[in-house]
Amino acid sequence: MKTPDATLNTAFRWAEVSIEQLKAHAYDAIPGAGETALVAGYYESGDSARPGFGWFFGRDALFTLSAVDAMGDYKLTRDELDFLAARQRADGKIMHEYSQTAYDPDVHWRSFPYMYAAADATPLFLLAVEDYLRASGDLDWVRAHRSVMEKA
């Protein structure tokens, strides 16, 4: 994207680079899930037991997807939506917080409140799908994921 404002162009490019840096691969391999999803950022743990923010935060990523769609990176949007859809809870709720250790069979992540604690992740998922469809015109992807949206 180019505008007449060089400062705006630089800021937009930095935003693209920042989004690119947040792409990560989950350790777990859920068949059909996107290879890549967005983490919330990277920062040291400090004095906390929490491992920085190399975690997947569904709602944060969903807020970012409108920018990803505006950039035209529809594959990243599909990957993120696939990642979230593959982890949809049985009652239809879309996850918010997903640790990189969630794949460990000794850690029963679904029994903790964190993964689905954000009330807005599910409606944001539906809004992100609508934005993706509007931007990309990819009705085939939407049709293929109809059951996920209906459950949400």
Interval 35-49: pLDDT, tens: 788 887 776 666 665
Which of residues 37 and 134 earns the better pLDDT score?
Answer: 134
**What is the value of pTM for the model shown?**
0.84
Measured from the Cβ of residue 21, the count of other Cβ atoms closer than 10 Å reads 12
Cα maximum dimension of the chain: 55
**What 3-state DSSP class applies to 90?**
coil
* Contact predicate 69/131, CB 8 Å: yes
Per the prediction, the chain carries an average pLDDT of 84
Per the model's pLDDT, the better-predicted residue between 17 and 128 turns out to be 128
Task: Indicate the domain borders of the chain.
Answer: 39-151
Only one residue has tokens 């954000």, namely 118
Kindly tell me if the per-residue pLDDT of 26 is higher than 70: yes
More confident residue, 25 or 140: 140
Element (H, E) at 56: strand 56-57
Q: Which residues contact 44 (CB under 8 A, 6 or more apart)?
A: 52
How high is the pLDDT of residue 52?
Answer: 57
Rounded CA-CA distance 144/152 in Å is 15
More confident residue, 132 or 83: 132
- CB contact at 8 A, 119 and 93: no
C-alpha pair distances (Å), 134 with each of 88, 127, 131, 137, 148? 23, 11, 5, 6, 18
